[in-house]
Amino acid sequence: METVESVAARILDNAVKEFWMESPWRWTLGALETVTLVANTQDYSLTSPSTGPTDFLYVVQAYTTDGVGPTRDLEIVPVLPVDANLLGQPSKIAFIAGSPAKIRVHPVPGALINTTKIISIYKKTAPYVDRSTMYSTMTSLGLPEDEWFHVYCDLVLYHLYKYADDQRAGGVTMTPNGPQYTGQLGTYKAKVWEMTQREKLPIWDSRDMNAERPKISK
């Protein structure tokens, strides 16, 4: 039989994970170890720690810099083949899990005039909420309690309504013009949109200053 605590923990965990994955928020990101490119070398083992960060989920942004010319963005792909014969300026990057974990580039760099480094930003894994952690502060769960706690509360309320089969939860309808939200879900989505206008997000994030406000109906 479910208890109030177990149901509450599940609702809070659902809300934390949904809020966490909405966008590359600053508190959900970390920096991978900086890697220096070496001529004719495709794979670069990580050393601190050797398996990569314990909270690593995936790479969200990467670029090369030699401290002289402009930085060059790298395309992030899930898999890259081993191909030591194709030389050129790296344009793609993949994270290879293992011990040690590796960063693989493509094409393989040839002769390098200047010292060139790879800077990578990764998405952290979302915190887990259970009965032992549900009374923790939001900051201990990795969320900014002061700035955006009210948005998280709106999401918790949506999940409460949804769990109780309360029509005030609202929902989403896909239309030719994009998703249209109703009820409490609509309130939450509108506030998330406002967050994306104020948070410093990676430049490639689709919900930038030109993104339209979510369509909300009653």
Structure-token match 């899930």, residue found: 78
What is the percent of the chain with per-residue pLDDT over 90, rounded to a whole number? 58
Residue 144 has pLDDT above 90, yes or no: no
Q: Helix or strand or coil: residue 17?
A: helix
| Structure confidence at residue 153 (pLDDT) | 92
Which pLDDT does position 209 carry in this prediction? Answer: 45
The pair of three-digit structure tokens given for residue 116, joined into one six-digit string: 């060139």
Helix then strand count (H, E) for the chain reads: 3, 12
Secondary structure class of 213 (helix, strand, coil): coil
Average predicted confidence (pLDDT) for the chain: 87
CA-closest candidate to residue 104, choices 71, 86, 79, 87: 79
Q: Where are the beta strands (DSSP E) in the chain?
A: 29-31, 35-36, 43-45, 56-65, 72-73, 75-76, 92-96, 102-106, 117-124, 172-175, 178-182, 215-217
Domain ranges of the chain: 4-28+127-217, 29-124
Instruction: Decide: 128 and 13 in contact? Cβ < 8 Å.
Output: yes
Count of residues in the chain: 218
State pTM to two decimals: 0.85
Q: Using an 8 Å Cβ cutoff, are 41 and 167 in contact?
A: no
| pLDDT per position as a tens digit, 6-34 | 789 999 999 999 999 999 998 999 999 99
Q: Give, rounded to a whole angstrom, the gap between the first and last alpha carbons of the chain.
A: 36
Maximum separation of any 2 CA atoms in the chain, in Å: 67
Higher pLDDT, 13 or 69: 13
CA distance 84 to 112: 16
Binning pLDDT at 50, 70 and 90, where does residue 1 land? low
3-state secondary structure of 78: coil
pLDDT of 204 > 60? The answer is no
Residue 139 banded pLDDT, cuts 50, 70, 90: confident
Closest CA to 200 of 56, 65, 23, 61: 23
pLDDT for res 126: 93
- Residue 112 clears pLDDT 70, i.e. is over it: yes
The structure tokens 């309130």 sit at 187
Do the beta carbons of residue 129 and residue 112 sit within 8 Å? Answer: no
pLDDT surpasses 90 at 192: yes
Instruction: Give mean pLDDT, residues 163-171.
Output: 94
Per residue in 50-64, pLDDT (tens digit) is 888 999 999 999 999
Alpha-carbon distances, residue 182 vs 145, 148, 159, 163, 179 (angstroms): 26, 21, 14, 16, 10
